[in-house]
Structure 1
């Protein structure tokens, strides 16, 4: 998952160009989903940090800008889905912020203070589940806010996208 491409006319990339970029890295079965930097591909290696660096460099070389790259394996995406603490609530209000690593000794106090009374959040090892019944766009628990408070790169996806990315990994 790439953070911040095709948002508000900035860092514009066509998904076919992005797929070609990943193809050129030798990944198998490259698929993209919607216009926000979701790429599913086959990779046989185990060095995820090296993979992040390789993709980051290739995207910068190919498109002329840097982006944060967050990777989850198929197994990890299934874990994210199964561990949803808000199962049974309106899925249209559910989002997951994927963290690039486990946050270093963080306090949730500032996050708790920033959320509205109706909102809920739950932090797992490398994800923050957000339930925003008034809309994610109106929430103070934005991706940028969480990056600042947790001191880590992140990217957020709605629940439908999370499920679709997992489904694509099985096709």
Structure 2
């Protein structure tokens, strides 16, 4: 089965630096095949016959041993990423309106969680989030760095990591190859 591993908080602001080449090597050493990475923010694609419960602790332990620190790791299957992509809760008009506010900013993100969260919608001035199972879709009119809502979102789960929508689409396409 084809999987995506999303590492939280590596290569951000000069902290928790991990070279993707070394991370890919780690996955290959653990017996995974077709290992590849996408950008420097900790996205690893791989294939295995094992299920997540069989390999997640092994990966976490090996990562900590090799790099000297631990981070949450979220896993998604190809099927889960296709569903995530196809159930985007925002209309093209809502996205276009957010983008008109500041065309230079990224406005659409997905937060990935290690655990299920209660279905809900949360909004603030110029920003909105929709929680669906282990994913949060987040749309903002401003920079995510100015968000008041992201603090609330981060309290919904201990292990969250965000990727912008362009990255989500690219990762999904890579899983389909």
User: Where on the TM-score scale, by shorter chain, does this alignment land: which range?
Assistant: 0.7 to 0.9
For 1:164, the equivalent position in structure 2 comes to 170
How far apart, in 2, do the equivalents of 1:141 and 1:43 lie? 37
Corresponding residue SS for 2:76: coil
2:153 is equivalent to residue 146 of structure 1: yes
Please point out which of 98, 106, 109 is paired with 1:95. 109
Query: Could you list the runs of 5+ residues in structure 2 that have no partner in the other structure?
Result: 1-5, 100-105
Higher strand share: 2
For normalisation by structure 1, the TM-score amounts to 0.87
Corresponding residue SS for 2:74: coil
Q: Flag as ranges the 4+ runs of structure 1 deviating above 4 A.
A: none
Question: 1:103-114 alignment to 2 at 5 Å?
Answer: 103=117, 112=122
How far apart, in 1, do the equivalents of 2:42 and 2:152 lie? 20
Corresponding residue SS for 1:70: strand
Corresponding residue SS for 1:71: strand
How far apart, in 2, do the equivalents of 1:107 and 1:85 lie? 12
Question: 1:52-67 alignment to 2 at 5 Å?
Answer: 52-67=56-71
Task: Report the Cα offset of residue 45 of structure 1.
Answer: 1.7
Task: Report the Cα offset of residue 107 of structure 1.
Answer: 9.0
CA 1:63 to 1:24, structure 2 compared with 1: closer, same or farther past 3 Å?
A: same
1:113-164 Cα distance to aligned partner (Å, 9 max, x none): xx5311111010110100012021221333x6533x2143111110011111
Question: 1:19-98 alignment to 2 at 5 Å?
Answer: 19-46=24-51, 48-88=52-92, 89-90=95-96, 92-98=106-112
Query: Could you list the runs of 5+ residues in structure 1 that have no partner in the other structure?
Result: none
Aligned length: 162
How far apart, in 2, do the equivalents of 1:33 and 1:167 lie? 11
